[in-house]
Structure 1
Amino acid sequence: MAAANKLEVKKARLENIDELALLFDAYRVFYQKDSDLALAKSFLTERLANSESIVFIAYFENKAVAFTQLYPKYSSARAVKNWILNDLYVDENYRKLGIASQLIQQAMEFVESTNASFVQLETAVDNYNAQKLYKKMGFEIQSPDSEFLLYRKAVQQIS
C-alpha cells in the first residue's frame, strides 16, 4: 500500500468492496440521496462481479479517500467502445490535494488502453469546482442544459 503522505490509485476489486461502499455511500449522500450502506455495497458488488464497470480507488496514507467509476458505452455506427466517467468523489477532508486529477489521469490511462475514442461525463451547472477541474484535464463542454453540463474528451490512441 502507499507509504506515509503518498497517494496511490488502484483498480478496485471485490476485496475492496467495504471501503469502496463507504465512499460510494458518501457520494450518494452528497447528491441528496439517503445513506444506505447496504445498497451501496450491493450495487457496487454487482457492478464489479459482473464486470459492468471499472472503479479506481485513491488511497492517501493507506486510507481509501476517493473513487471514480467508469461505465462502457458503445457506438454501433462507429463500431467503437467509449466510456462514461459516471462517478467521481473525494472525501471532503482530502479535497484540494490533487486527488481528483490523479483519479481522472488513471482513468484516462485505462481508457486509452481499451482503444476507446472518447470519455464523457456530466456535472451539475452549479458544480464550479468540478467544471474547473474538467476543463483543466482537457474535457470540453458538448451540450449545456439547465441542470447538467455534458463534457467529452477525445482519447489519444496508445501505439
Structure 2
Amino acid sequence: MEKQTVLKKAELEQVEQVAKLFDQYRVFYGQASDLAGARQFILERLENKESVIFIAFDGSEEQSAVGFVQLYPSFSSVSMKRVWILNDLFVVSEARGQGTGRQLMSAARDFAKSNGAKGLSLTTAHDNLTAQSLYESLGYIRDEHFLTYELYF
C-alpha cells in the first residue's frame, strides 16, 4: 500500500519535527549540525509569527516528518501588496522523487494566493538544476532583468 503524504501548517507543537528537518537542511548547505540552534531559530520564527512553515509527513502511522517549506513575508512597494519569500525547501533524501517537494511548493502557492499576495519569490544556486526544473515546471519564471546584490556583515 502506497503511503500518502500529509501536509500541515506548522504550529508550536511541530517545532521539534521542523527543527530536525531544518538542521538537516543547514547541513545539506554545508553548515555544522546545531539542533539546539535550529530548534531555537524555528521556535522564534513561529512564536513571533515571522515565518510560515508547512511540514510534510510520510503518511505512516508514525507520521515521520519528511520535508518542509518556509516562507518569510515581504512587500512589493510598486504593487503595494505582500510578497512571500520562499526561503527554504527541503525533503529528506529517502522521500525525494515522490512529489513531496512539489506538494510543499503547491501549499506555499495556495497559502500566498489565499492571503491576497502578489506572489512568491525564491532564489536558487546556478548549479541546482533539479530545483530549477521543479520551479519552472510549476510556472516560476527566471528573472533575466535584475541583478541581485548582497551586503553581509
TM-score, normalized by length of structure 2? 0.89
Aligned residue in 1 for 2:18: 20
Letter in 1 for 2:32: D
Aligned residue in 2 for 1:52: 50
* Larger CA deviation: 40-49 vs 137-146: 137-146
Aligned residue in 2 for 1:111: 112
Aligned residue in 2 for 1:78: 79
- Percent identity of equivalent pairs: 43
CA RMSD of the aligned region, Å?
Answer: 1.9
Does 2:142 correspond to 1:141?
yes
Greater than 6 Å deviation, 4+ residue runs: 144-147
Say if 1:125 and 1:146, in contact at 8 Å, map to a contact too.
no
Shift in CA distance, 73/145, structure 1 to aligned 2, threshold 3 Å: closer
Q: 1: distance between equivalents of 2:146 and 2:75?
A: 23
TM superposition shift of 1:85: 0.3
Q: Which runs of 5+ in 2 are unaligned?
A: 149-153
Q: 2: distance between equivalents of 1:44 and 1:10?
A: 15
What is the aligned length?
Answer: 145
TM superposition shift of 1:146: 10
Q: Which runs of 5+ in 1 are unaligned?
A: 148-159
Letter in 1 for 2:84: W
* Structure with a larger share of its residues in strand: 1
Once the two structures are superposed, residues 77-113 of structure 1 have per-residue CA deviations (whole angstroms, 9 ceiling, x without a partner) of 4221110000000001110000000001111110001
Say if 1:85 and 1:121, in contact at 8 Å, map to a contact too.
yes
Aligned residue in 2 for 1:152: none
TM-score, normalized by length of structure 1? 0.86
Aligned residue in 1 for 2:125: 124
Aligned residue in 2 for 1:157: none
